[in-house]
Structure 1
Amino acid sequence: MQELYPAQIAQRLDQLTELSVALASSHDMELLLERILMVAKSITNADGGTVYRPSADRRSLCFQLSVNDTLGLHHGGSGGTAVDIPPVPLVDDNGGKNLASVAAYAANFGVSVNIADVYQADVFNFSGMRAFDRQFNYRSQSFLTVPMRDHEGELLGVLQLINAKDRDTGVIGTFSPTDQRFIEALAAQAALALTNRQLIVQLEKLLESLVNLINIGIDAKSPYTGRHCQFVPELTMMLAEAVHETDDGPMADFTMTDADRKELWFAGLLHDCGKITTPVHVVDKATKLETIYDRIDLIDTRFEVLLRDAEIRALRQQLAGGDAEAIGAELAQEQAALADDRAFLRRVNVGGEGMRPDDQERVHRIAGRRWTNPAGSDAPFLSDDEVRNLTIRFGTLNDDERKIINNHIVMTVRMLESLPWPKHLRRVPEFAGGHHERMDGKGYPKGLTRDEMSVPARVMAIADIFEALTAHDRPYKKAKTLSESLEILGKFCLNGHIDPDLFDIFVRKKVYMRFAGKYLDPAQIDAVDEAKIPGYVP
C-alpha cells in the first residue's frame, strides 16, 4: 500500500474540485461518464476501469465505458469503439440477487468492494475476467468497485477500477482505504451530476410530451389542424437551417446553436396551441353556411316549398280554365329559374379565392324572394345572417368568425407567456406568437414590423403560410400546387407580408422542394419556373 503525502492528497482534492465544476456544466452523458472514469483512474493511478449503467428493466448492468492503458483499449465515450460485452445480471436464475459478480454485488447491496488480488479471492466469480486475461495476455489483480446511487438510493451505475499502480515504480499494488474513500466521494459527486442530468432530460421529455399532448387535443378536436401542428415545425426548421448555412447576403450573420434549435422547435410545436380554445364549428367551417351543420339543406327545403307552390298555383290555374299549354310553359320556366338559383347558392356556399360582386348581388336578389315558412307566415327567402355568410368574398368565414380564428394567436401568446420558461427557452412565446405578423406592420396580434421581429419568428411566418397553402386536408379549400403556392408567397413578398430575404433563401435553397418531397401529394409537385415567381430574382 503506497503512502500518500499531503501534496498528493491536496492534488486529489483539487481533482475532485475540478471534476465538480466540470460535472456541473456537462450536458453530454457519455462525456460526463468518461470524465468521471478518467478522474477516478488519475486519482488512484489505476491501469484501467469500467463504468456500468443499469439496463432499462434494471435487471442487469450494461457496460457503458471501458478503458485500459496497458492494452490500449478505449471502448465507449470518445474512444469511438462500441462496447460489445454481455451485460452483468443483477438477479440469478432463481430471481434472487446475483452475488457471484462483484459489480452486481456492489450494485445490489450499495457497498464498495475492494479486492487486493482477484486470483486469491474465492468469494466472487471472476471466470470472465480470467478469460479476458488469457485472451489479451494481461494480469488482473486489484479491483475497486463502487456503486453510484442517487439521494433516494436508486442505482445509477457502478464504477470499477482495476490494478492500482505505484506512481514511482509502476508495480501493481492494492487500492488503499484512502483510495476507496476518495473514489466513494467521487462516486457521490458523479451520482449527483447524473441525477441532475437525468432530471433535466426527464423535464425536457415531459415538456415535449405536454406539448404533444396539447397538439393531440387540437388534433382530436379538429383533424384538419393536426397535420399543420406537425408540419409547420418541420418546415420552420428546414428554412432556419438553410438560413443558418447561408454565408453571404443579408442573412449571413444568422446562426443557431443546438439550444437555439431546440427553442425554435418548441415554438413551432406550440405556434397554434391557442386553437384549443377555438370553437370546432369555426375551425372546421367547410362551407359558408356551416355551423353545427350545413344550413344549405334548409335553403334546399325552401326551394322545394317554392317548387311545390309553383306547381299548386299552376294546377289551380288550369282548374280555373286557364290555357294549359301556356300555364305549363310558365311553370317550366319558373322551375328552371328556381333550379338555377338553387344550384347557384349551392355553388357559392363553397368558399373560394374571391367572390365576384355580381354574384354577391345575385344572392341579394334571391334573398328578396318570398316564401311561406312553417309557421304559415310570409317571410324573406334568406335571412340576414344567411345573406351575410353567402356573400363572404374570401373563404368561408364571416367577419365575426375570422375574429374568433384570429384570436387563437392572442390565446397562444397569453398561454405561452403565462409559463415560467427556463432561460434557454424564454423566446418561445415571441417566436410562436409572431407567425401572423407582417413585415409592413399590418399583421396581428401586435402589429409588429420586420425590424421588430426576430429572424426565427419571420421564418415561422413563411412556414405557416406555405404549409397552409399546400395542405390537402382542409375542408374549405383544395390543396395548392407548388407553383401556385410559390406564386402566392411571391406576391406576399412584394406586398410586405413576408420577409423578402428569407423568401429568397426559401426558393434559392430549394427548401420548398425538400418539404414537398417529404409531405406533399405527388400530384401537387408540378414544374416550377423560379424565374416567374413574383418577388424572386434567380
Structure 2
Amino acid sequence: MASNSVLRERLERLNAIGIALSGETDINALMEHILVAAKSLVHADAGTLYRLQDDQLHFEIVMTDRLGVALGGTTGKAVPLPPVPLYHSDGTPNRNNVVACSVLEGRTINIADAYEAQGYDFSGTRRFDAANSYRSQSFLTVPLKNHEREIIGALQLINALDSKGETREFDAEDQHLVESLASQAAIALTNRALIESLQTLFESFIKLINLAIDDKSPYTGGHCQRVPALTMLLADAAAATTSGPLRDFQLNETERYELQIAGLLHDCGKVTTPVHVVDKATKLQTLYDRIGLIETRFEVLKRDAEIAHLRGELTHEAHVQLLAQYADDLAFLRRCNVGGEFMRDEDLARLHHIAGYRWRTPQGVDEPFLSNDELQNLAIRKGTLTDSERQIINHHIEVTIQMLESLPWPKHLRNVPEYAGGHHERMDGKGYPRGLTREQMSIQARIMGIADVFEALTARDRPYKHGMKLSQAMTIMARMVAEQHIDPDLFEVFLCEKVWLRYAESYLETQQIDAVDEEALRKLAGLA
C-alpha cells in the first residue's frame, strides 16, 4: 500500500499528464505520451497501446525498457505484429486473449502472474520470453473508454517494478490510477481523432471543389494543383532567407498549412465562370468555333464567283484572282482567330476591309460578311477574350473572395481569404478586384501572385496558347517587376534561389527548360 505522500504525488502527476494530453496535437505523439505516462505512473517495465478498428486491436505502441524495445508512435519503426481479432473465424468471442477479453467485456483485467493465470492463452508470451530471455509476469489490461462509453482501444502494462527493480503485481492503487489515466487518454484520443477526421473532411471538400473545376475545364484543373505547389516552393525559399528584406519572414507548420489551403482555394470562384469563356481557345469560339461559319460563307462567295464566271460576267483571270484572294483572306482570318500577344494596326485594317464584303444568306438576305460580334472578337489585339469576357473571367476572384469570406474560418485559417483573394492585385495598386498596393498586402498574398503568373505563363495545357520556355517566361516576369506588377523582393528570391528551376523540373516539358540569364533578368527587373 502506497503512503499518502506517494498517492498525492501520483495524483498530481496524473493531473499534469491529463493537461499534457489535452494539449498534444499529433496523434502518434499523443499515443506515445499515454503509454510512457502510464508506465511511469506505476513503474511498469513494458506496455502496449492498442486501437480498435473493425473488431481488431491494432498495435500502435510497444515498449519494453529492459530489452530496449520501442516501436510505433514517433519512433518511425512499425510494429511487426498482426492485429488481435475480437472474434474467431467462426464468430465466437476471442476471450482466451486477455486484451480481446478486456475489450469485449469492457473491464480491467489484473493478472499477478501470466504463467499461472487460468482461462487465458499466454503461449505467445512464453515464446517471446524464451526468445528474448525475458520474464513477463504481472499484467494490467485496461479498456480505453471515451466520454460516450465507447471502447476505442486498450492499454496493457507489464511487470510493475518495486523500489529495488523487482517485478511485483499491480496493486489496487495502480489499477485505479491507470483506469483514471485510461479514461483521460480515451477522451484525448477521441478528440484528436475527431479533429483529424474533420480536417480530412475539410481537405476533401477542397479537393472536391478542385475536381469540380477540373471536370468543368481540364485547363484550369491543372492550374488549381500547380499554383499551390509553386506557392509553397517560393514560401519555403523566402522563409529560408537569412539576409535582405525578407530575412525576418518565417512560417511555422500552422502558417504553412494556412497558405497551402489558400493556394488550393485561390480559384474556387471559377465554379461560377461559364466554361465556354474559361476554355475559349479561339476568338470566335462560343459553344463551338464560329470560324466554320466563315469558311461556309467563303464557299458561298466562291460559288457566286463561279456562277458569274460561267455567265461571262467574270473573266477567267479575274475569277482565278478572286478565288486566290478568298483563299488568302480565309487563311488570314484563321490566323486572326488564334489569339496572340499583339495584333498589328495593318491587320486590323485588313480585317475591317474583309468585314465589308457582302454575301447572300440561304434566305436570300444580303448581309455584311462578318457580323459586328464576329468582327469585335476577331479584332481582339491580345489573347482570345473580349473586354466583356475578360470581365467575366476577372469576376471569378470577386466570387472567390465572397465565398471564402462567408465561411467561419478557425483562428489558424483566418487569413485564407486574404491570401487567396490577392493574387490578381499589383504592387502599384492597379490590380483587381480591390486595387491594393504592396504595403496593403501580406507577403503570403504577394507570393501567390507570383506563383499564379508564372504558372499561367508556363502552363502547357491552355487551349489558347503553348507553354512558354523558361527564358521567355522569366523575361516577362522581370518586366512585370519593373512595371510594379509583382513583388521585387520575392522575385529576387524566386530568381536567385532557382525556385523557377525546381518547379520546372517537376511540371514543365523538357523542351520548355532552356538557359536563363539571371544577371540580365536582375537588370531588366531593376534589381541590379
Q: TM-score range by the shorter chain?
A: over 0.9
1:371 paired to 2:367: no
Deviations 1:230-276 (A, max 9, x none): 11111111111111111111111111111111111111111111001
1:271 paired to 2:266: yes
1:30 maps to which residue?
Answer: 28
1:50 paired to 2:48: yes
* 8 Å CA contact 1:441, 1:450 repeated in 2: yes
- The 5 Å alignment of 1:49-68 reads 49-54=47-52, 58-68=54-64
1:161 maps to which residue?
Answer: 157
Deviations 1:148-198 (A, max 9, x none): 13344544221111122334x444332222322221111111011001111
Mapped partners of 2:66, 2:335: distance in 1: 83
What code does the residue aligned with 1:535 have? Answer: A
- The 5 Å alignment of 1:86-125 reads 86-125=82-121
1:110 deviation in Å?
1.8
Correspondence for 1:337 among 304, 325, 341: 325
Mapped partners of 2:71, 2:464: distance in 1: 58
1:244 maps to which residue?
Answer: 239
2:300 maps to which residue?
Answer: 305
- The 5 Å alignment of 1:434-473 reads 434-473=422-461
* 8 Å CA contact 2:488, 2:527 repeated in 1: no
1:322 maps to which residue?
Answer: none
Mapped partners of 2:58, 2:366: distance in 1: 84
- Sequence identity (%): 55
1:18 paired to 2:13: no
1:75 deviation in Å?
2.9
Aligned with 1:49: secondary structure?
Answer: strand
1:143 paired to 2:139: yes
1:172 paired to 2:163: no
Correspondence for 2:398 among 406, 410, 413: 410
What code does the residue aligned with 1:433 have? Answer: G
What code does the residue aligned with 2:26 have? Answer: D
* 8 Å CA contact 1:229, 1:269 repeated in 2: yes
2:69 maps to which residue?
Answer: 73
1:323 maps to which residue?
Answer: none
1:59 deviation in Å?
4.2
Deviating more after overlay: 102-111 vs 273-282: 102-111
Aligned with 1:395: secondary structure?
Answer: coil
State the Cα RMSD in Å.
1.7
Aligned with 2:157: secondary structure?
Answer: strand
Mapped partners of 1:72, 1:338: distance in 2: 88
* 8 Å CA contact 2:482, 2:526 repeated in 1: no
What code does the residue aligned with 2:91 have? Answer: G
Mapped partners of 2:290, 2:456: distance in 1: 26
1:127 paired to 2:123: yes
Deviating more after overlay: 270-279 vs 153-162: 153-162
What code does the residue aligned with 1:469 have? Answer: L
Instruction: Identify if the C-alpha distance between structure 1 residues 381 and 238 changes in structure 2 by more than 3 Å, giving closer, same or farther.
Output: same
Q: Which runs of 5+ in 2 are unaligned?
A: none
2:202 maps to which residue?
Answer: 207
1:298 deviation in Å?
1.1
* 8 Å CA contact 1:111, 1:147 repeated in 2: yes
Mapped partners of 1:181, 1:327: distance in 2: 112
Aligned with 1:420: secondary structure?
Answer: coil
Mapped partners of 2:186, 2:526: distance in 1: 56
Deviations 1:261-320 (A, max 9, x none): 1111111111111001000110000111110111111111111112222222232236xx
Instruction: Identify if the C-alpha distance between structure 1 residues 16 and 296 changes in structure 2 by more than 3 Å, giving closer, same or farther.
Output: same
1:80 deviation in Å?
5.9
* 8 Å CA contact 1:147, 1:159 repeated in 2: yes
1:328 paired to 2:316: yes
1:39 maps to which residue?
Answer: 37
What stretches of structure 1 move > 4 A for 4+ residues in a row? 78-82
Mapped partners of 2:177, 2:162: distance in 1: 17
* 8 Å CA contact 1:504, 1:536 repeated in 2: no
* 8 Å CA contact 1:289, 1:296 repeated in 2: yes
Mapped partners of 2:64, 2:268: distance in 1: 52
Deviations 1:304-344 (A, max 9, x none): 112222222232236xxxxxxx7111122222222221211
What code does the residue aligned with 2:109 have? Answer: V
Deviations 1:86-138 (A, max 9, x none): 43333223232211211111122221111122122121111121222223333
1:400 deviation in Å?
0.4
Aligned with 1:119: secondary structure?
Answer: helix
1:355 deviation in Å?
0.7
* 8 Å CA contact 1:531, 1:537 repeated in 2: no
Mapped partners of 2:477, 2:75: distance in 1: 49
Deviations 1:12-53 (A, max 9, x none): 221221112111110122221122122212222222222122
Correspondence for 2:415 among 407, 427, 441: 427
TM value normalised by structure 2: 0.96
Aligned with 1:317: secondary structure?
Answer: coil
Mapped partners of 2:47, 2:278: distance in 1: 60
What code does the residue aligned with 1:67 have? Answer: M
Instruction: Identify if the C-alpha distance between structure 1 residues 79 and 356 changes in structure 2 by more than 3 Å, giving closer, same or farther.
Output: closer
Mapped partners of 1:81, 1:368: distance in 2: 78
Deviations 1:381-419 (A, max 9, x none): 111111111100110000000000000001111111111
Deviations 1:439-484 (A, max 9, x none): 1111111111111111111111111111111111111111101111
What code does the residue aligned with 1:299 have? Answer: I
Mapped partners of 1:401, 1:81: distance in 2: 56
Mapped partners of 2:331, 2:228: distance in 1: 41
* 8 Å CA contact 1:389, 1:398 repeated in 2: yes
1:8 paired to 2:6: yes
Deviating more after overlay: 404-413 vs 138-147: 138-147
Aligned with 2:525: secondary structure?
Answer: coil
1:184 maps to which residue?
Answer: 179
1:78 deviation in Å?
5.0
Q: Which runs of 5+ in 1 are unaligned?
A: 319-325
1:514 maps to which residue?
Answer: 502
